[in-house]
Amino acid sequence: MDDYRDTHADRKDGEALVNPVVAGVARAIHEHRLPPGTRLAETELSDIFGVSRTIVRSGLQELAHGHLVTLKANRGAWVAKPGPDEAREVFEARELVEPRTAREAARKATAAQIDRLRQHLLEESSSLTSREYGQALRLSGAFHIEIARISGQRTLLEFIETLVGRSALIIALFWRNERARCDNHCHSTLLEAIARHDGKEAEEFMRSHLVDIHSALRFDETDENGKDLRSMLLPPD
């Protein structure tokens, strides 16, 4: 990671460089390798990602801004652990916003964008077939984000990116049925509505899909995780 600088002002090929701590921790959260409530020690993160503690702190601040990490003064950082009320609020927000972006995506989607969505679902299906459920979960969230991107509504896209990340934590805490939450049948149905440019149907499918997820949440006690931070952050070879 020697080419990373301590400021996001540096550029490479016209793009802002991504903090490796942000990328690594966020991916581990989305793939359910890093459970809510996990302690994130700066020294350990610095060693795992091969970066300075300055970069670690910057990454943790960025993750906290996205509600993926909780920072406690003079105590450190933890993966965020949303409660039932926050979980309900996040999914209620998604149920309000994402049907709109699905409708707009159906109206605006180009043939190339629809092809990309189809390829995305193939990758999601392949992950399920290989029983790589963590990867399938990450791809599932990315599918929702891609629909928001196609809608062309940049403000809503940023909001949905945050909500999808928070949803990964919520699902990890409150939904135990791995196979059910990875089922991409609803995504296939939604994609076909977008491909037909049927905005009303896409809107209805998206709302129904999110309500189904929300209604499956169980607000009971969760199991503690005994794995070490390195094994949770670094995916198996």
Q: pLDDT for 130-142, tens place per residue? A: 989 889 999 999 9
Of the candidates 109, 25, 16, the residue with the CA atom closest to the CA atom of residue 68: 25
Distance separating alpha carbons of residues 78 and 75, to the nearest angstrom: 10
- Cα 88 to the center of its chain, rounded Å: 17
* DSSP code at position 70: E
Distance separating alpha carbons of residues 13 and 11, to the nearest angstrom: 7
Domain locations in the chain? 14-81, 84-215
Distance separating alpha carbons of residues 173 and 171, to the nearest angstrom: 5
- Cα 44 to the center of its chain, rounded Å: 23
Distance separating alpha carbons of residues 195 and 192, to the nearest angstrom: 5
Q: Say which CATH class 14-81 falls into.
A: mainly alpha
- The second-level CATH assignment, the architecture, of 84-215 is Up-down Bundle (1.20)
pTM of the model: 0.82
Contacts of 1 (CB under 8 A, 6+ apart): 20, 49, 50, 51, 55
- Cα 116 to the center of its chain, rounded Å: 18
Looking at this protein, which amino acid is placed at residue 32?
Answer: H
pLDDT in tens, the chain (237 residues): 333 333 333 334 434 578 999 999 999 999 999 999 999 999 999 999 999 999 999 999 999 999 999 999 888 999 999 999 999 999 999 999 999 999 999 999 999 999 999 999 999 999 988 989 889 999 999 999 999 999 999 999 999 999 999 999 999 899 765 544 555 688 999 999 999 999 999 999 999 999 999 988 888 655 555 566 776 677 665
